[in-house]
Structure 1
Amino acid sequence: MIRRLWTLSVHTRAFLRRYMPTNILLDAIRTRRGLKWGVPAILLAAPYLLAASTFTTLIAAGGPGWLNLLVFLCLWNAMKFIIMGPVSLILLGRARLREGAAARAERRTMAESAEQAT
């Protein structure tokens, strides 16, 4: 039973990761080329927060209860984009440090091989 639940959760996660627009966008931001877009991606949280506010107003005015699911979904997506901004800055810093270290090591290797050639 636990095995089936685990398998179902793995397949659900893979489906959501592959086909949901926010997950696709966040995966693109996590690439080396996309890290620079992490901070502007925080701005995408604003429409989600506005939608959650609108749905909450509709619920308070006597709307259907299933709108609570949309409120949760909007808040969840807004939180993902808000968190991705600082995370992308940290990942970008790490990538630049790694690239700088690799460039220094390459220059050092080139200098050593030039010294040995003379």
Structure 2
Amino acid sequence: MFRLIWIASVYTRYFLRRYMPTNIALDAIRTRRGLKWGIPAMLLGVPYLYAASIVRVLLDNGAPGWLNLLVLLFIWNAMKFAIMGPISLVLLLRVRIYEAADRRRMRKQQTDSVVYARAESVG
């Protein structure tokens, strides 16, 4: 029984990760090219919160109770985008620090090889 639940959760996660638009957008933001879009993507949380408030008003006016699931979904998606902004900023800073260190290392190797070549040609 435990194995069946485990497998069902793995397939559900795979499906949601692959086909849900917010997960696709967040995966694109996590790439090197997409890290710069993390802070602007935080603004995508605003429409989700607005949609959640609209559905909440509908619920207060007598809509079916299952719409509470939509409210939770909208709030969850808004939180995902709100959290991804600062995370992408930290990831972008880390990547840029590593890239700067690589550039310094490459320049040092190039200058060392030029100095070594000159020393061999002189000696």
Please give the range of the TM-score, normalised by the shorter of the 2 chains: over 0.9
* Cα displacement (A) at 1:6: 1.0
CA RMSD of aligned residues (A): 0.6
TM-score by length of 1: 0.98
TM-score by length of 2: 0.94
Task: Give the whole-Å Cα distance in 1 for the aligned partners of 2:104 and 2:35.
Answer: 23
Match of 1:70 in 2: 70
Q: Deviations over 1:24-76 (max 9, x none)?
A: 00000000000110000011011100000011111111110010000000000
Match of 2:58 in 1: 58
Identity of aligned residues (%): 62
Larger radius of gyration: 2
1:6-45 aligned at under 5 Å gives the runs 6-45=6-45
Task: Give the whole-Å Cα distance in 1 for the aligned partners of 2:109 and 2:14.
Answer: 43
* SS across alignment from 2:94: helix
Structure 2 unaligned regions, length at least 5: 119-123
* Cα displacement (A) at 1:15: 0.7
Task: Give the whole-Å Cα distance in 2 for the aligned partners of 1:3 and 1:111.
Answer: 59
Task: Give the whole-Å Cα distance in 1 for the aligned partners of 2:3 and 2:102.
Answer: 44
* Cα displacement (A) at 1:111: 0.9
Task: Give the whole-Å Cα distance in 1 for the aligned partners of 2:19 and 2:52.
Answer: 22
Number of residue pairs matched by the alignment: 118
Match of 1:93 in 2: 93
Counterpart AA for 2:7: T
